[in-house]
Amino acid sequence: MFKKNILKNNLRIITVPYENTEAVTVLVLVKTGSKYEEKEINGISHFLEHMLFKGTKKRPNTTLIAETLDRVGGIYNAFTSEEYTGFFAKVGSSHLSLALDWISDIFLNSKLEEKEIEKEKGVIIEEMNMYVDHPSSYVQILWRELLYKDQPAGRNILGTKETITNINREKLLKYIKSQYVASNTIVCVAGKFNENKIVEEIGKYFSKIRNTLPFEKPKVIENQKYPQCLLKERKTDQTHLCLGVRGYNLFHPYKYAQDVLSTILGGMMSSRLFIKVRERLGLAYYINTDSYSDTDVGFLVTQAGIDSNNIEKAIKIILKEYKTMTERKVGERELKKAKDYIKGKLILSLETSDSLASFYGFQEILEEKILTPKQICDEIDKVTKDDILKISRDIFRPSKLNLSLIGPFNDKNKFEKILKI
């Protein structure tokens, strides 16, 4: 299914051949993101992601960067998370060398010109404004702020207007020299390619990557002892909320059980909360429960947009479903449905070269261990009714309960009073 090679400079290469396609994706991942940032440079990982598209010596400006792959119908972009930054190019398989040349060029040779840095500050501040103006997105940012407070895990990936304004070329260069190094980077190629030549070709294009040790992210501190609420008053037509609990990280043996639990609660259209809150009571257009696991923290959270007149009713219903999970085991049929749903979604998500690159690349960059789809499905199958009951009793407790919401309210005390399980 895949091969892993480590070059002499410690650059890791993951190759995933897939003959049932005429496409190929090159994905470069760096193990750095907002969790690695000091408060004064919050947002620098994301800022740097933007700046790598602004020009190199070979392709001096944004237009030439874009035209390179536009001329062959390529798809390309980048992204930043709390724990990694990624850049990808997807092209027809005959253009693989072009994609490798392009992505290695922006990764290793970006000019980071002062004039472009100053212009991009305005772009990123407008990106911040966009998310703040979109309550269903902004409430997710508030959720992490509520959980982790004033530490890297609780800060916005985009940074703040103040930190972005203060970023300069010197800070960007210092950060890229520290983090964009061979031992902190993987190159994943998935799709149709020549397996006999690919590792050598990648090594050639990335031969100039620095080979120093990056700095590690600080440990996340979790010391919650009672339910917490973060309220942002806003005259919205509906109230948007995130209601959930602290859970398990990527290395915890119960991470798969947490995935199954979230699916039962609100991960599909026949899940408990979707049926009850939307279909039976008509309280929401959207409601879903998701499970998140990072390398150091995890959580289970239900998000919904609710008529503000019914917000307390909806919160109580969600909490009641949480409590029900602690009182009795799920039925065999419901458990099987959730597990089959997760496995089916996984299989369907791996039909393209870019999704394959992400599947294998994300595992390697975060866990330094890769499971095949079959191995993951086997782990899902191992989850039992007893596991679901056990983790429900562990995580659905007042001391792990959190609520972030945006709506026309100014008193968070009334919400804190109903946060009971």
Catalytically active residues are 49
Q: Phi/psi at 127 (nearest 5 deg)?
A: -65, -40
What does 152-186 look like in DSSP terms, one character per residue?
GGGS-TT--HHHHHH--HHHHHHHHHHHSBGGGEE
What does 305-335 look like in DSSP terms, one character per residue?
EEEGGGHHHHHHHHHHHHHHHHHSPPPHHHH
* Residue 409 CB coordination number (10 Å): 16
- Gap between the Cα atoms of 103 and 111, Å rounded: 14
- Gap between the Cα atoms of 130 and 123, Å rounded: 11
Q: Which residues contact 349 (CB under 8 A, 6 or more apart)?
A: 355, 359
* Residue 369 CB coordination number (10 Å): 9
- Give the tokens for residue 282: 């008509």
Under 8 Å between Cβ of 292 and 144:
no
Which ranges constitute the DSSP H helices of 226-310? 255-266, 272-273
- Gap between the Cα atoms of 255 and 222, Å rounded: 18
SS (H, E, C) 272-291: HHHHHHHHHCCCEEEEEEEE
Q: What is the DSSP letter of 93?
A: G
Q: Is 68 helix (H, G, I), strand (E, B) or coil?
A: helix
Element at 235 (helix H, strand E): none
